Amino acid sequence: MTKKIVRPVQSKDIAIGERIKVEKLSKPIRDFLEETKKDQEILDIGLKMSRQHKKERTESEKLQQELEPIDENI
């Protein structure tokens, strides 16, 4: 018994009816270091904004406490 030799064949997109090349199926190669730098920049911006919003929130809470102190015994 001999096995048949299998050759790679372009697949066909059934919905559109066009042929898909093998190159289109593979994901583009991305550099790990570049991707981590981009992710780190996004995280740094988010952290900076979070700290700024917290600072603004605590200032407004202090002003609110001065104007209308909350009675804990109610």
The tens digit of pLDDT for each residue in 12-68 reads: 555 665 666 666 566 667 788 999 999 999 999 999 999 999 988 888 888 888 887
Model pTM score: 0.46
Query: Is residue 53 within 8 Å of residue 45, measured between CB atoms?
Result: no
Q: Phi and psi for 70 in degrees, rounded to 5?
A: -85, 125
